[in-house]
Structure 1
């Protein structure tokens, strides 16, 4: 059984390379070691799948762990640790594990490890950001050492994608290793079953991976992968051009066309399964007024954002769902169309006057995320006479403010996978791990519930399209755009396949450097 295939500033060089070398990004003498840069991130907090919340963490976790399922190059779901899986009935899935699956310490992967890993995510004491993906599960039963059966309370269509080796947190961990090491040590040097194990981790700098002696699948083509953390996207590109790295996880949008013209590089590009938006704290002034939220949404031009922020590398989104996942028909809804006249009329309905609409919009980093926030703030202030301002911080600081609710607005985004609920449910659902907006709407929740229990693909699409349009009436976020995903590599690197969810670590075992 498979899911359907998806339908769909100038270059910085030279000067910064010296500082990169000082940080350890020097040209490697061992050609077999692939150097893969996570650009735009400066931190990893954990490599425990159940605890991970940053994309940078998932990039490494995908290489160290396996899940029950995975996506192949055609974005179809297939077995990973599971040799086969069977839909027993509308609420029951059964998984038969590969008998040759081993953890890095040589212990077999068993049904008990699967049950332990999934129940650990469901345990509220774990505080997993991915708990909401599994709350529909009623029971996990071990039928024999290599067979596990998962039962849900009602039909739950998103479950299969929630069990894939992607940004789900459902990677399978060793019960014994976690018990023996303890949670903190395990998070630094986890025991998985993936192609690589952690050789060393230098905080805020790099994670060194080496081929695991016991693992699922054939030996990786490269015995080592050094995963480097580079805070700025432009610096990641500088490192690539200076031959300090072989692959970067992204590239500045302004440089994509120029990069595509360089014969020494490969640019992997695809419409992304991401959604970029401004999160609004509906529990705090001035965004506790729906008329303010609606008015300001019509006071900035999303097409300008695509041109000025993405340099054309993306598209305006009419809601939260990315076009590659659900193609919306017809013109953009009025509430996300730039219309100064209607924006002023809507703001006149609010209990706050324009000059009283003062708020701080958080942005992180100094790259396109900051430009995104600056353009939105400038346009809204110019159009309506409001007093918005931008405040920049690092990723962790901004994320902490969102989670605590101690913010007014923030430029943010999400990269889900192939299920509608990973967007609307996670970002705006009552139990959504990323509902930092405090959004609550019973009609919206009813649509989510209906979508989760509807197995017919066309009916599900229609339900979530209605939910996407319904939330626009409340406007807890300002949907903005979907950006293309890019990876850039040297011509010497072979084996990388670009997928629309910005894959990275799941490709490491296929990579090799040609002489």
Structure 2
């Protein structure tokens, strides 16, 4: 076992747009002596859990990334590199041996050991945990502690994305303290978790925000800012106003409508690049009318994706003809697909084949009042109604309720999306396979399941894309979801704030430790 992994290129085709905007100092008073950074999570006002095994919402991970570490992480070029691991050695038959960095301290001062890592992974895999991230470790047979700083993760044969799923990203595999969790209990731990990250949670105000305090014994050195205030601002536009008014120092997102204007503001840096997201209409295949493939195909041809990109995200993105985003270049198919273009006559002809009459279709399309998500639903509903004569309505709720209804199957249709990282299985496996944890629509095709399983086991990067391309093509022919667009990602910062490196999976708190005011 001498073939140790220190770096691994995992993402092909990421071609980030240049950072835009002015880099001159803001005309506002400089805060060079400030020990507090105010970093707002915008577009969301809900955080349910900071327990990595339970987390499922984007704003939850925005915080988790600064509070925890994974065995692995992404560097600025999206290579997978060791984080808590010091060395990584492949094992014959599948899996890896990890040697941990010595002297890593949890927030409570205790030292990280291999037992904490084993406890973390065993808990994610345990059925009683009901972790939404359990699928990422589905092929792990066992986690074995060799000594206090060495462990082995054994898999059931080759498992190509394992290292990806062990990164400090949207994985749920961030390492938790066994002793702290057992002492505190799950509920208390989910609110005041004990991790190894550069910051620890010291206050959580539900629906309002959190306070993070620097971890002075962080293994990579104490961060610059002593305190991070993380307000939750439901409307992205309100975040812009707060930034321009000097009330906050940065945002997690930006309203697409304002990007072109903000790029001309000398007081603000606009970070902008194509994202690894996918935005679609989720339709419940277990309920009328979407149990009929002709309805799904007709709906897909009844609206203009190009118009959506302009009206919903103001040109800050591209149309989608599948589930996989263009930034996953090796896996993305550029060939035009049937049913993915606006064609009113074809849509009407397809609808005529359905067992439902368009005027009989009276359903609500779920959305929430968080900026462009509401416009997303409104444009879809208006165009489909106009083209087909259906009676769709927009059903506005809050983001938490929308998620709960999708997850429980209590919906007919809703605007939805997903932001993975760099592995196609996070899209095909999570959303399109029968047991995928984000397969809320109830889609099931044994051929798709088999192709996804082959993709998981194929370790040759030149061969893996073929399995996922075939699986996606089948699912799109059957309209498992109705793809719409992929949007750019944005962050807004004070012009004198330095050290934030934007990554295409929309990172946030993982950068706090390296940030400073110039």
Conserved in 2, the CA contact under 8 Å of 1:264 and 1:491?
A: yes
The match for 1:11 is none
- Which one of 420, 430, 449 corresponds to residue 453 of structure 2? 449
Aligned counterparts, 1:89-238, within 5 A: 89-238=92-241
Q: What SS does structure 1 have at the residue aligned with 2:427?
A: helix
CA contact (8 A) 1:281 1:476 kept: no
Deviations 1:457-507 (A, max 9, x none): 121112111111110121121011110000000112111001000000100
Task: Kindly state the Cα deviation for residue 241 of structure 1 after the two structures are TM-superposed.
Answer: 0.6
Residue 365 of structure 2 corresponds to 361
Shift of 1:110: 0.7
Q: Distance in 1 between matches of 2:62 and 2:441?
A: 26
Q: Which moved more, 1:73-82 or 1:422-431?
A: 422-431
Within 2, Cα distance between the matches of 1:488 and 1:86? 39
Structure 1 residues 43-52 or 358-367, which shifts more?
A: 358-367
Question: Could you tell me whether the CA contact under 8 Å between 1:6 and 1:75 is conserved in 2?
Answer: no
- Confirm or deny that 1:497 pairs with 2:497: no
When residues 228 and 6 of structure 1 are mapped into structure 2, their CA distance, relative to the original with a 3 A threshold, is: farther
Give the Cα separation in 1 of the matches to 2:32 and 2:81.
Answer: 38
Provide the residue aligned with 1:510 in structure 2: 514
- SS of equivalent residue, structure 1 residue 336: coil
1:254-293 matches, within 5 Å, as 254-293=257-296
Conserved? CA contact 1:105–1:214, under 8 Å? no
Q: Distance between the aligned counterparts of 2:283 and 2:371, measured in 1?
A: 21
1:58 aligned to 2:61? yes
Unpaired runs of at least 5, structure 1: 9-26
Q: Give the Cα–Cα distance (whole angstroms) in 1 for the partners of residues 32 and 462 of structure 2.
A: 53
**3-state SS of paired residue (1:358):** coil
Give yes or no for contact 1:357–1:386 (8 Å, CA) kept in 2: yes
Q: In the alignment, does 2:347 pair up with 1:343?
A: yes
Q: 1: CA distance between counterparts of 2:439 and 2:229?
A: 34
* Pair 1:475-2:479 in alignment: yes
Aligned residues: 496
Please tell me the root mean square deviation across aligned C-alpha atoms, in Å. Answer: 1.4
> 2:442 matched to which residue of 1?
438
Paired residue for 1:17? none
Pick one of 41, 44, 64 that aligns with 1:41.
44
Question: What secondary structure, in the 3-state scheme, does the structure 2 residue paired with 1:306 have?
Answer: helix
**Following the alignment from structure 2 to structure 1, what is the Cα–Cα distance between the partners of residues 304 and 381?**
11
Do residues 68 (structure 1) and 74 (structure 2) align?
no
Taking the aligned partners of 1:216 and 1:503, their CA distance within structure 2 comes to 21
Separation of aligned partners in 2, 1:366 and 1:493 = 27
Change (3 A) 1:28 1:400: farther
Shift of 1:340: 1.0
Matched, 1:7 2:10: no
Q: Work out the CA distance in 2 between the residues paired with 1:366 and 1:494.
A: 29
Structure-1 residue corresponding to 2:407: 403
1:434-455 CA distances to partner (integer Å, 9 max, x unpaired)?
1100111011101101111111
Residue equivalent to 1:247: 250
Partner of 1:19: none
Q: 1:329 to 1:177 in 2, by over 3 A?
A: closer
Deviation at 1:300, TM superposition (A): 0.7
Q: Give the whole-Å Cα distance in 2 for the aligned partners of 1:455 and 1:316.
A: 31
CA contact (8 A) 1:286 1:358 kept: no
Deviation at 1:366, TM superposition (A): 4.0
Q: TM-score, normalised by structure 1?
A: 0.94
| Contact kept in structure 2, 1:326 and 1:461, CA below 8 Å | no
Cα deviation code 1:414-452 (max 9, x no counterpart): 000000000111112222111100111011101101111
- Show CA shifts across 1:212-269 (max 9, x none): 1332211111111111100101011110010100000111101101111111110111
- SS at structure 1 position matched to 2:122: helix
> Alpha carbons of 1:28 and 1:491: their partners in 2 closer, same or farther (altered >3 Å)?
closer
Verify the 8 A CA contact 2:44 2:370 in the aligned structure 1. no
Match of 1:333 among 301, 315, 337: 337
Task: Give the equivalent residue in structure 1 for 2:310.
Answer: 307
Separation of aligned partners in 2, 1:385 and 1:397: 29
1:74-89 alignment runs, 5 A limit: 74-89=77-92
Decide whether aligned partners of structure 1 residues 71 and 90 sit closer, same or farther in structure 2, where only a CA change above 3 A counts.
Answer: farther
Q: Which stretch shifts more, 339-348 or 239-248?
A: 339-348
Whole-angstrom CA distance in 1 between matches of 2:460 and 2:93 = 12
Return closer, same or farther for 1:366/1:169 CA change in 2, 3 Å cut-off: closer
Task: Tell me how far apart the structure 2 counterparts of residues 391 and 28 of structure 1 sit (CA, whole Å).
Answer: 44
Shift of 1:329: 4.7
Give the match's secondary structure for 1:173.
coil
Q: In 2, distance between residues paired with 1:359 and 1:230? A: 30
Aligned to 1:13: none
- Give the superposition deviation at 1:90: 4.6
Measured after TM superposition, the shift of residue 4 of structure 1 is: 3.4
C-alpha distance in structure 1 between counterparts of 2:334 and 2:465, whole Å: 16
Q: Which moved more, 1:356-365 or 1:73-82?
A: 356-365
Distance of 2:244 and 2:431 partners within structure 1? 37
